[in-house]
Structure 1
């Protein structure tokens, strides 16, 4: 099997999984699992590709978890993006000197990330809290409200 053809099969499978996620049907689930096995258990004649395929096939349950749980994302880019800023700061500054310093850093980082996700200026929110203006409701209420609106 030529390698470019294999790549097209893999892309096609991913597209089918994406469609399944939007409209899960039990008959499609079995078909996707079977297709996954067909693609990732075949021999290509390229040792490194065959090893990679075998490794991917061994992780089938994780890679196809979306078939059991269509509500989960197909990737973890958002989670990785969430911790990237924290990791960069830790790399640059080393570490905090105390547990209190660590809690402060983690709290501010979390607030900043939450504000960014809610499209609220972190500095405006912080100033609002420090000056007791109460222009913004608590972030937890905003999150809860938006989740309620998006699921309705």
Structure 2
């Protein structure tokens, strides 16, 4: 799979799809394992999304790191008292993390938004720019 990510070709993509299908449709003598293999086939497209988008990582380490700080704070503080408090905490934690990822000061971003100055680009714009999606869309004329 890593070789495919470095040099994706249609031929290799088809081979990987076939290998996956052969692996999860094989018959085994263990009912529990057979059941699990069947579940993999149900989520086949999601599991093989990397074949359509080879730049996607093959692990979720980034996602795990994203929530680590949040989990520590929740343990120390004992959580929130209301659904609204939880929603506010989650929203601000997400904003803070996204700002940090894109090299933007969280405090300056909040000040920029609250004062209406709007000198700092919207986070959605920064995310699209970092993903390369805008360039892809513009070059394809979509």
1:135 shift after superposition: 1.2
Structure 1: which 5+ runs fail to align?
Answer: 1-16, 38-53
User: Of the candidates 118, 124, 133, which is equivalent to residue 140 of structure 1?
Assistant: 124
Aligned equivalents of 2:50, 2:98: Cα separation in 1: 29
Question: Whose Rg is larger?
Answer: 1
Give the aligned partner of residue 48 of structure 2.
Answer: 65
1:66 CA displacement = 6.6
Residues 1:116 and 2:100 are matched in the alignment: yes
Q: Is the Cα contact below 8 Å between 2:66 and 2:97 reproduced in 1?
A: yes
What are the Cα deviations for residues 112-138 of structure 1, in whole angstroms up to 9, with x where unaligned? 011112111111111212232221132
Please report the RMSD computed on the Cα atoms of aligned residues, expressed in angstroms: 3.5
> Would the alpha carbon gap of residues 67 and 82 (structure 1) be closer, same or farther in structure 2, given more than 3 Å must change?
closer
Which consecutive aligned stretches of 4+ in structure 1 deviate over 3 angstroms post-superposition? 25-34, 64-70, 149-152
SS of corresponding position for 1:113: helix
Match of residue 27 from structure 2: none
Taking the aligned partners of 2:80 and 2:14, their CA distance within structure 1 comes to 51
Normalising by structure 2, report the TM-score. Answer: 0.62
| SS class of match (2:90) | helix
Number of aligned residue pairs: 119
Shift of 1:20: 1.4
Judge conservation of contact 1:66–1:73 (CA < 8 Å) in 2.
Answer: no
Distance between the aligned counterparts of 1:27 and 1:137, measured in 2?
41
3-state SS in 2 of match to 1:75: coil
| Relative contact order, higher structure (CA 8 A, sep 6+) | 1
TM-score by length of 1: 0.58
Closer, same or farther: CA 23–66 of 1 in aligned 2, 3 Å: farther
CA contact (8 A) 2:50 2:58 kept: no
